Structure 1
Amino acid sequence: MIKRFQDAMHLMRRSDPQKQEDGFHSLRPYAADHVAELIDEFRAEHEDRGLRCWLLELIAEARSPEALPLLTEVAQSEDEPLRDCALRALTLLGTKEARQVLWRERANRPMR
């Protein structure tokens, strides 16, 4: 299982866009099995915003309450693309705590 995750992450870091897509889509059905690893990868990645958004999308697919602290943190970010990914992930999570974070963030950020 770890090899599958490592292989997918290797592909997602390639310069070839098709290989990146292949890595993302190969990991998508197994995201729930790798929430902790996805969170670790997100926290370790500081340069590639696209990869960070994909990692948040995979974390969202997992729908794991384990991701709530990270999603809450990113939802408060000034980085709009990442914040939007985190807000979508919180919506998918659908827990009471996630809804509270969404409500707070929407109250703090006026609609555009």
Structure 2
Amino acid sequence: MRAAAHEDINLLTVLPASNEPGLQVRDVRGNWHDVPCDFGSIAVNCGDMLQLASGGDYPSTTHRVMNPIGEGATRSRLSLPLFLHPADDVRLSADRTAFEYLQERIAELRSQDLKAS
């Protein structure tokens, strides 16, 4: 696996099609689906900030990147995501601004890294 299943912290992630397949998204039933990598196409993933701001109406996209099998295993995969974040003072909920939420999540990730090492 190139990238384990995860959700992005930000508001939206804009992903121009990669040069190689491997990106998958999980549906609400837990099934994984390949995201086409057709030249010129774009995928847009909802992030955790949008999930919070929408009260869950737009859930964060769970996604992963799989290693290719066979001939594709020797090719590099190029991905150029654009992570969109709101301004720091934007309220995502009654009790959190975008800045406060980002700081909480960074602290959470650092704590996980420390536990793993």
Using structure 1 for the length normalisation, give the TM-score: 0.28
The structure carrying a bigger helix percent of its residues is 1
The structure carrying a bigger strand percent of its residues is 2
Between Structure 1 and Structure 2, whose CA radius of gyration is higher? 2
